[in-house]
Chains A and B, each alone.
Chain A
Amino acid sequence: GAVVSQHPSRVICKSGTSVKIECRSLDFQATTMFWYRQFPKKSLMLMATSNEGSKATYEQGVEKDKFLINHASLTLSTLTVTSAHPEDSSFYICSARYGPYGYTFGSGTRLTVV
């Protein structure tokens, strides 16, 4: 149980275009979801926390106008990278909280901006 599905797993886009990444909870309702960015050989950087039906809370230094997060339902959160540039290339991972102590993670999205 507590499975999160993240799509796409890989995406290549041209500089200046926007890319949407989806994160779905398959067998539970996720009131809180998290979006992380992972750089090569580095830990995960929390970008933002999204609560269903309300605006996301962004971590310091994360551009909210560039990384748009929508959590419109209890099973879906999306991250849109707007006007992507090569420096946005990274591995993005979503996570959802379930129960009092549980966090489950998506399989990640490798974004390459060319």
Chain B
Amino acid sequence: GNSVTQMEGPVTLSEEAFLTINCTYTATGYPSLFWYVQYPGEGLQLLLKATKADDKGSNKGFEATYRKETTSFHLEKGSVQVSDSAVYFCALSDRDSGGSNYKLTFGKGTLLTVNP
């Protein structure tokens, strides 16, 4: 079956530090990959996505590259801000085991806290 493994954290950084959150996946097909962000008490917001190998997703200074050879989609940001404090989820979209529906499979989430 499909699975996503990401570093669970928590991760605590100082403002302007470099961020990496590792994410690897296992999939039977050719999945699309996503990073979602969740602020306290809210739903999930799409941060970035990549739909095929070697694609780079980017948004708000965050980047992630779809690496098929290492089955990875690591999230990076060169200089984090206090406002980036949130939970980050790596996810993949692929057909379910029945082959009829696409659905998201999530990692366990990584809590990021950025201190001033």
Contact = CB atoms under 8 A, between A and B. Distances in A.
B74 interface: no
A108 B45 CA distance: 12
B49 A101 contact: yes
Contact of A43 (B32, B43, B107): B107
A108 B51 contact: no
A49 B106 CA distance: 15
B101 A49 contact: yes
> Ordered nearest first, which 6 A-B pairs have the shortest CB separation?
A105-B43, A105-B44, A43-B108, A107-B43, A108-B43, A101-B32
A63 B34 CA distance: 29
Contacts of A44: 44, 89, 106
Contact of B109 (A32, A43, A102, A106): A43
A62 to B, nearest CB: 14
A106 B108 contact: no
Contacts of A102: 46
Contacts of B99: none
Contacts, number: 49
Main DSSP-derived SS at the B contact region: strand
B68 interface: no
Interface string B30-42: 0010101000011
A42 B89 CA distance: 11
B104 interface: yes
Given A32-B102, A44-B106, A101-B32, 19 more contacts: A6-B43, A32-B101, A41-B111, A43-B106, A43-B107, A46-B103, A49-B96, A49-B103, A57-B101, A93-B43, A93-B44, A101-B49, A101-B51, A103-B104, A105-B43, A105-B45, A106-B43, A107-B42, A107-B43
